[in-house]
Amino acid sequence: MKEIKLTDSEKDLMEIIWVRKNVFMKDILESYPEPKPATTTIATLLKRMQNKDLVGYKLYGNSREYYPKVEKGEYFKEEMTSMIDRFFNSSVTQFASFFTSNTQLSQKQLKELREIIDQQINE
């Protein structure tokens, strides 16, 4: 997957599509809290996301049923890889060091992280 940047508005919309899987415009609008965005705003975002190959649609008469073309996990994996490349010179070790020393992790959380790492090593 090529690196794809989403705006905050696009991420909000993608979140709705990932949760709902197959969704019509009316369903998308219902998913937003008040004040709801204009239909034209959603249509513009959907068009941009189609151009980025993140969203597809099936036509039913005049209605379009939208669906995600990229899984949420795959998108966020690419986002994390891109962030580690940009901010930590592609070093996962530098990222892990920064993450563990600059967040307020409890001893329990650190042990859980170690267990996850140990499990990956053993596989």
Per-residue pLDDT of 106-116, as tens digits, reads: 888 888 888 88
Residues 17 and 60 in one domain: yes
Mean pLDDT score of the chain: 87
Residue 25 in contact with residue 39, Cβ under 8 Å? yes
Q: Kindly write down the DSSP assignment for every residue of 23-43, as one continuous string.
A: EEHHHHHHHSPSSPPPHHHHH
CATH number at residue 61: 1.10.10.10
Query: What's the token pair of residue 4?
Result: 């794809």
pLDDT value of residue 14: 93
pLDDT at 4 over 80: no
What pLDDT score was predicted for residue 3?
Answer: 58
pLDDT surpasses 90 at 19: yes
pTM of the model: 0.70
62 and 17 within one domain: yes
What element of type H or E holds 58?
strand 55-60
51, part of any domain: yes
- Do 15 and 52 fall into the same domain? yes
SS3 66: strand
- The domain in which residue 49 lies consists of 8-68
Reported as a single tens digit per residue, the pLDDT across 67-120 is 999 898 888 888 888 888 888 888 888 888 887 777 777 888 888 888 888 888
Please say if the pLDDT value at position 6 is more than 60: yes
16 touches 23 (CB < 8 A)? yes
In a domain, 86, yes or no: no
Both 63 and 12 in one domain: the answer is yes
Name the pLDDT band for 41 (thresholds 50, 70, 90).
very high
Is 78 part of any domain?
no
Domain count, the chain: 2
